[in-house]
Amino acid sequence: MSSTIQRIGVFTSGGDAPGMNAAIRAVVRTGIFHKKEVFGITRGYEGMIEGDFVKLGARSVGNILQRGGTILKTARSDEFKTAEGRKQAYDQLRKEGIDALIAIGGDGTFTGLHKLYLEYQLPSLCIPGTIDNDIAGTDYTIGFDTATNTAVEAIDKIRDTALSHNRLFFIEVMGRNSGYIALYSGIAGGAGAIIIPESETSFDKVYELLTAGEITNKRSNLVVIAEGSKIGGANEIARKVAERTDYFDIKVTILGHLQRGGTPTYFDRVLASKLGVAAVEGLMNGKTDAMVGVRDNKIVYNLFDSVMNRPHEIDMDMLRIAKILSI
Ligand code: ATP
């Protein structure tokens, strides 16, 4: 593994996700293992523009593996979307001698990195870190597993209180335009119906399904709705059902940001560790302008053009499974 890279800059950007710290730790320690210097860039592209860099040692990333959030903080930077902002960022990186970058974030982060690469040819790789699991080219993003487990735990608790007759709960989970968290937490939580943006459905179809539940005389019914639902969010759907029937005692819970926090699961820690090592070693092997991911449990490097602006396909058979199991 021969490489001219000496100083790697690592940063987190966009929405935070549990497991980002494990990825930072992996990048720092792998860099040091291969005799590179690693600098943390705080607050994503904002810190890059301001030259907010801190040299990280193996010990400075101790005791963060199990912590949610990101020790480097994250931010959204409008300035970086401009050519002048990126020039300023590049000048700061040069001043510090940083000659390669590893970003941990979502598609916006990757887009910014790609632009910087096109303009300045700085070797750079992106690690997918977002709870939404909405990035093509990787089976899982860091944080998705933890967020889904958090949603399942919440659904289980709601079910405990829902066991009085005819109670109907609408639970809205995160995911932006992706239905991954809703689909997986819905199946794991035994939802009576799951509404995700990827499936073609209508309010009438959902209503039909719910009133069929009336016939089966379930003691309670839970509907999990992705925040990106095309037929409205939990509040709207609940309101429409209430307008048509007074059969149910309807409750709505929007899980919101609690899904972003918490201790990362073993799965996210292992994923973050693998991707962190692969990112550093990929850079050293000449990979650039790409996102490191896992496909069928193997590390892959996806060029920007091969994954951006493409949906992360969802296995629609999972919806069928959910339907069969909800009778
Ligand atoms: P998440 O999926 O968790 O929201 P993300 O990485 O997609 O994460 P964004 O807010 O979309 O989050 O992007 C993070 C940052 O990346 C932005 O604040 C901006 O600085 C940079 N970025 C996003 N889009 C672009 C773009 N088109 N050009 C340059 N930089 C961009």
Distance 112 CA to ligand 1 centre (A): 6
Cα(24)–Cα(276) distance, rounded to whole angstroms? 7
At 163, is the pLDDT very low, low, confident or very high (cuts 50, 70, 90)? confident
At 104, is the pLDDT very low, low, confident or very high (cuts 50, 70, 90)? very high
3-class secondary structure for 177-236?
CCCHHHHHHHHHCCCCEEECCCCCCCHHHHHHHHHHHHHHCCCEEEEEEECCCCCCCHHH
Judging by beta carbons within 10 Å of its beta carbon (0-12, 13-18, 19+), is residue 96 exposed, middle or buried?
middle
Cα(66)–Cα(269) distance, rounded to whole angstroms? 8
Q: What is the pLDDT of residues 147-160, one digit of tens each?
A: 999 999 999 999 88
Fold of 7-143+264-307: Rossmann fold (3.40.50)
230 lines ligand 1 (CB under 6 A): no
Mean pLDDT (the chain, rounded): 94
Instruction: For ligand 1, atom 31, name the residue with the nearest CA.
Output: 112
Token reading at 238: 């609940």
Q: How do the domains of the chain map onto residue ranges? A: 7-143+264-307, 147-260
Asked if residue 310 lies in contact with residue 110, where contact means CB atoms within 8 angstroms, the answer is no
CA dist 327 → 172, 191, 193, 195, 213 (Å)? 21, 10, 10, 16, 8
Check pLDDT > 80 for residue 1.
no
Domains 7-143+264-307 and 147-260 share a fold: yes
Cα(225)–Cα(254) distance, rounded to whole angstroms? 9
Ligand 1: atom nearest CA of 134 is 2
Check pLDDT > 80 for residue 271.
yes
Three-class SS state of 26: helix
Picking from 249, 241, 179, the residue whose alpha carbon sits closest to that of residue 210 is: 241
| Predicted local distance difference test score (pLDDT) of residue 215 | 58
Average pLDDT over every residue of 12-27: 97
205 lines ligand 1 (CB under 6 A): no
108 lines ligand 1 (CB under 6 A): yes
Cα(37)–Cα(272) distance, rounded to whole angstroms? 20
Sheet holding 124-128, edge to edge: 53-56, 37-41, 7-12, 100-105, 124-128, 290-295, 298-303
128 lines ligand 1 (CB under 6 A): no
At 247, is the pLDDT very low, low, confident or very high (cuts 50, 70, 90)? confident
CATH architecture of 147-260: 3-Layer(aba) Sandwich (3.40)
Asked if residue 181 lies in contact with residue 133, where contact means CB atoms within 8 angstroms, the answer is yes
| Predicted local distance difference test score (pLDDT) of residue 309 | 87
Tell me the whole-structure pTM to 2 decimals.
0.95
Q: What is the pLDDT of residues 39-70, one digit of tens each?
A: 999 999 999 999 999 999 999 999 999 999 99
